[in-house]
Structure 1
Amino acid sequence: MSLTSSDLEDLLESLSDLNFSDPLGNISRVDTMVCATSFNRTALLYSTCILYSFIFIIGLAANALVLWVNIRAQRDSTPRHETHMYIAHLAVADLCVCVTLPVWVSSLAQHGHWPFGEVACKLTHLLFSVNLFSSIFFLACMSVDRYLSLTKHGDGEGGVRRRLFRRGACIAVWLLALVASLPDTYFMRTVKSSHGDIMLCRPVYPEENPREWMVGVQLSFILLGFVLPFPVIAVFYALLARAFARSSSSSSSSTVEQERRVSRRVILAYIIVFLGCWGPYHSVLLADALSQLGLVPLTCHLENVILVALHLTQCLSLLHCCFNPILYNFINRNYRYDLMKAFIFKYSTRTGLARLIEASNMSETEYSAVAVDNPPQI
């Protein structure tokens, strides 16, 4: 579930007037409250437009570059590129999320008006939601795969089985993301705003129990988007870091020890960035759900805080589409080598410079943190 531009504008209009809240809104209040808007609505709308535009430009360029370089790298048919499968799918998911942002920006710039029709409303939301879930699920898959690739060698038949497993996992991720996105997409409608002659793209839940549906969708998003994947990511990257620590203590080479220390820092960055991007949004979403259930007293101040926090933290969560290419690609020397080949090397990769770079890559312990098929012994 996501906070759409129509939801934001309709809620802001509700708060500006006597706030007879629409019970069918995505995150709108079910109870009737009279709250004064304590923030600048226009500033929030246009600040969000700027943030979404920034994420669109950076995310589109970075993920398109990652996808292009990985496709070129696959032509080499080298074993280490087999595990780029998750990274390529992750880049596709993040790219598709970014592609939908201009549509939301266009709606925000028109104060929530949706001029594209109901079919586009459903399809845009489905594309956004499926790829957002897929991005999160692929990050979890990579954390498991990297640890297994480091501790279990994939030569021969075992390597073939693992490649087949990765392909199956990618298909399963896309299917699970589709299933997770269908309920909220099913309820998406274009409806006329009660605060102006504009059309809104928003979920319209059954009139009998809109609160229960709304909270159910919120809790399912929290469960699938954070509660389940984050422990997987944290645990398996922690195990991977511990494996590096053990190998460093048994190694007499200061160079290898330094590389593995860098790898442990990169692993820590994976966990911190995921928590920093997604933790705030899911925390605010949980607070909103608890307030709907009456477990948290809902005041006008909390109403305003949740409304603004939901939108700003969703912008923060979408920054993950910009961080993923840096953390999982640009920071790695092997990827930078592929990037150089794509842009610089117009001749055989067996030149002297290429052989020199390749030699350093073959002994590079850092790359074991991004799951090679034949990782170094530890």
Structure 2
Amino acid sequence: MSLSTSELEDLWESLGDLNFSDAFSNISSVNTMVCATAFNRNALLYSMCVLYTFIFIVGVAANALVLWVNIRAQRDSTPRHETHMYIAHLAVADLCVCATLPVWVSSLALHGHWPFGEVACKLTHLLFSVNLFGSIFFLACMSVDRYLSVKKHGDNEGGARRKLVRRAACVGVWLLALVASLPDTYFLRTVKSTHGDTMLCRPVYPEENPREWMVGVQLSFILLGFVLPFPVIAVFYALLARAFTRSSSSSPSSTVEQERRVSRRVILAYIVVFLGCWGPYHGVLLVDALSQLGLVPLTCGLENVIYVALHLTQCLSLLHCCFNPILYNFINRNYRYDLMKAFIFKYSTRTGLARLIEASNMSETEYSAVAVENPPQI
């Protein structure tokens, strides 16, 4: 037995379908078999609410702190490398992603009901999607920028030009993220369930070919969110690690070698965390798209596995907004110095503590993940 698009949606709604997947443009609204639910939907619902609440609290606090410290450092005219520009934009993007989570959690708590209206449906999704893409794109830009900075270390010419390029890259990232988010946002509607008065915020694709539109949106999300940025991040950070390996051979000092070994581990963490957070979700999303195209046999067991896996891996992917402040800021000695400066200096100007910290501060040109002698300006 097969169902039409609207009939299938109504069936899932009557079973208490979760609506948060709409934020990732992944409604399973195609012809398929009618399968019994083989998992506790209420348990999944409440688990998602708890997990997203945790991500909201940690993500907002960490990214707001990063943004505040960066703004304060700039206000104090602290000399910093231009990579801070990407870090500040990354913090803004992750902060905005986390800020939308209470809206989605409230919809989850109402079993998919959307009480905020169609305008809020579109705007919330647009804010979420633009900043989600922006966060991923800024990570890719940062990997390229850091490698090129190492290759050009010692070249003091063209500083103004590189600063202009970085600013143009930031503008380009936001524009690209906006363009990538517009198509699916355009199709979002608030529609009434045929089972009760429940209103849903979900994409409504053209009736002529809804499956093709949905699969196209899924594949575009996979392409822009993982297939293109991950190789860029992996390749350029691998090149950066190799550059450190080569430079360490010319500096036999055991201290320098140990510091650069730590730096290479941090670089590996950048790659592993991105792959670990985003790989599972895009993998499940690809299986879902292939099953809708008939390239993967869709059984009831697979249908249930995909449904649960999509929700769990969505949560895992958003954990990246919590990991980014740790990886790109909290392990940075300069950032920790700025943090101490922001909280301690203000209240210790009459003591020797401020001068003691100032005297122990490392060079402001040191790379956030590279504590080495004569460090590259990244």
Q: Does TM, normalized by the shorter one, top 0.5? A: yes
Structure 1: unaligned runs, 5 residues or longer: 1-8, 18-24
Are positions 1:262 and 2:262 aligned together? yes
Give CA deviations for 1:223-245 in whole Å, capped at 9, x if unaligned.
00000000000000000000111
Pairwise CA distance, 1:376: 3.1
**Matching residue of 1:305:** 305
Flag the 1:351–1:116 CA change in 2: closer, same or farther, 3 A. closer
Give CA deviations for 1:56-79 in whole Å, capped at 9, x if unaligned.
000000000000000011134344
Total equivalences in the alignment: 358
Q: Does the CA-based 8 Å contact 1:337-1:357 persist in structure 2?
A: no
Output the amino acid matched with 1:294: G
Alignment of 1:214-293 (within 5 A): 214-293=214-293
CA distance in 2, matches of 1:287, 1:277: 17
Flag the 1:10–1:248 CA change in 2: closer, same or farther, 3 A. farther
Pairwise CA distance, 1:205: 0.2
Tell me which moved more, 221-230 or 66-75.
Answer: 66-75
CA distance in 2, matches of 1:50, 1:157: 51
CA distance in 1, matches of 2:354, 2:27: 59
Pairwise CA distance, 1:194: 2.8
Aligned-pair Cα RMSD in Å = 2.4
**Matching residue of 1:45:** 45
SS in 2 for 1:189: strand
CA distance in 2, matches of 1:99, 1:355: 35
Q: Does the CA-based 8 Å contact 1:240-1:369 persist in structure 2?
A: no
CA distance in 2, matches of 1:152, 1:78: 23
CA distance in 1, matches of 2:118, 2:278: 29
Pairwise CA distance, 1:167: 0.3
SS in 2 for 1:251: coil
Are positions 1:356 and 2:351 aligned together? no
CA distance in 1, matches of 2:75, 2:154: 20
CA distance in 2, matches of 1:307, 1:368: 38
Flag the 1:237–1:249 CA change in 2: closer, same or farther, 3 A. same
**Matching residue of 2:20:** none
Give CA deviations for 1:44-67 in whole Å, capped at 9, x if unaligned.
111000000000000000000000
Flag the 1:296–1:29 CA change in 2: closer, same or farther, 3 A. farther
Give CA deviations for 1:266-295 in whole Å, capped at 9, x if unaligned.
000000000000000000000000001000
Pairwise CA distance, 1:150: 1.2
**Matching residue of 1:201:** 201
Flag the 1:171–1:109 CA change in 2: closer, same or farther, 3 A. same
Pairwise CA distance, 1:265: 0.4
TM-score by length of 2: 0.89
SS in 2 for 1:367: coil
**Matching residue of 1:57:** 57
Pairwise CA distance, 1:362: 5.5
Flag the 1:369–1:181 CA change in 2: closer, same or farther, 3 A. farther
SS in 1 for 2:345: coil
TM-score by length of 1: 0.89
Pairwise CA distance, 1:102: 0.1
Flag the 1:105–1:154 CA change in 2: closer, same or farther, 3 A. farther
Structure 2: unaligned runs, 5 residues or longer: 1-8, 18-24
CA distance in 2, matches of 1:82, 1:61: 24
Are positions 1:146 and 2:146 aligned together? yes
Q: Does the CA-based 8 Å contact 1:146-1:368 persist in structure 2?
A: no
CA distance in 1, matches of 2:97, 2:303: 28
Output the amino acid matched with 1:107: S
Flag the 1:16–1:135 CA change in 2: closer, same or farther, 3 A. closer
Give CA deviations for 1:83-137 in whole Å, capped at 9, x if unaligned.
2000000000000000100000000000010000000000000000000000000
CA distance in 2, matches of 1:339, 1:220: 39
Flag the 1:155–1:355 CA change in 2: closer, same or farther, 3 A. farther
SS in 1 for 2:181: helix
Q: Does the CA-based 8 Å contact 1:131-1:177 persist in structure 2?
A: yes
Pairwise CA distance, 1:351: 5.1
Q: Does the CA-based 8 Å contact 2:192-2:198 persist in structure 1?
A: yes
- Identical aligned residues as a percent: 85
CA distance in 2, matches of 1:263, 1:319: 23
**Matching residue of 1:367:** 368
Output the amino acid matched with 1:288: D
Pairwise CA distance, 1:80: 2.5
**Matching residue of 1:191:** 191
CA distance in 2, matches of 1:146, 1:368: 11
SS in 2 for 1:80: coil
CA distance in 1, matches of 2:99, 2:154: 36
**Matching residue of 1:322:** 322
Flag the 1:235–1:122 CA change in 2: closer, same or farther, 3 A. same
SS in 2 for 1:162: helix
Flag the 1:369–1:193 CA change in 2: closer, same or farther, 3 A. farther
CA distance in 1, matches of 2:290, 2:267: 33
Give CA deviations for 1:323-356 in whole Å, capped at 9, x if unaligned.
0000000011111001000100123999531332
Are positions 1:69 and 2:87 aligned together? no
**Matching residue of 2:163:** 163
Flag the 1:13–1:227 CA change in 2: closer, same or farther, 3 A. same
Output the amino acid matched with 2:273: V
CA distance in 2, matches of 1:29, 1:156: 56
Flag the 1:108–1:69 CA change in 2: closer, same or farther, 3 A. same
Q: Does the CA-based 8 Å contact 2:344-2:354 persist in structure 1?
A: no
Output the amino acid matched with 1:83: T
SS in 2 for 1:201: strand
CA distance in 2, matches of 1:249, 1:311: 47
